[in-house]
Amino acid sequence: NAGVTQTPKFRVLKTGQSMTLLCAQDMNHEYMYWYRQDPGMGLRLIHYSVGEGTTAKGEVPDGYNVSRLKKQNFLLGLESAAPSQTSVYFCASSWFPETYEQYFGPGTRLTVT
């Protein structure tokens, strides 16, 4: 039982390049989330999904796209990376969230130069 895994762990991009971050969970959770963490700002929600085939915008969705083609995977895409997207990205998953906590992946550190 690996929990929540993220690929890659580190990445450096040049401005304008694109990339996809992969999140996978093996707990059969319905809900999945992508956050970014910046110093002094806590975690901010980018996008989330309440089930396979569904996605919704969070607090800071601009510049990102997501897909949830399979229940266990949640992909975060950057179409044209900008330096402002330099951050640590965390994926999380949860069962129906009424009383259930989120389980977090180890994070992806992205630098855009």
Partner 1 sequence: AQSVTQLDSHVSVSEGTPVLLRCNYSSSYSPSLFWYVQHPNKGLQLLLKYTSAATLVKGINGFEAEFKKSETSFHLTKPSAHMSDAAEYFCVVRRNTGNQFYFGTGTSLTVIP
Which residue type sits at 20? T
Q: Which has the closest alpha carbon to 75: 12, 16, 33?
A: 33
In order of 40, 72, 99, 100, the CA distances from 75 in angstroms are: 26, 10, 25, 22
Q: Which of 33, 64, 74, 89 binds partner 1 (CB under 8 A)?
A: 33
Asked if the peptide bond before residue 61 counts as cis, ω within 30 degrees of 0, the response is: no
Q: Is 104 in the site for partner 1 (CB under 8 A)?
A: yes
The reply to whether 77 sits near partner 1 by the rule CB under 8 A is no
Interaction of residue 1 with partner 1, rule CB under 8 A? no
Residue 58 C-beta: closest distance to partner 1, Å? 7
Could you list the residues that contact partner 1 (CB under 8 A)? 4, 31, 33, 35, 40-45, 48, 50, 56, 58, 90, 92, 97-99, 101-107
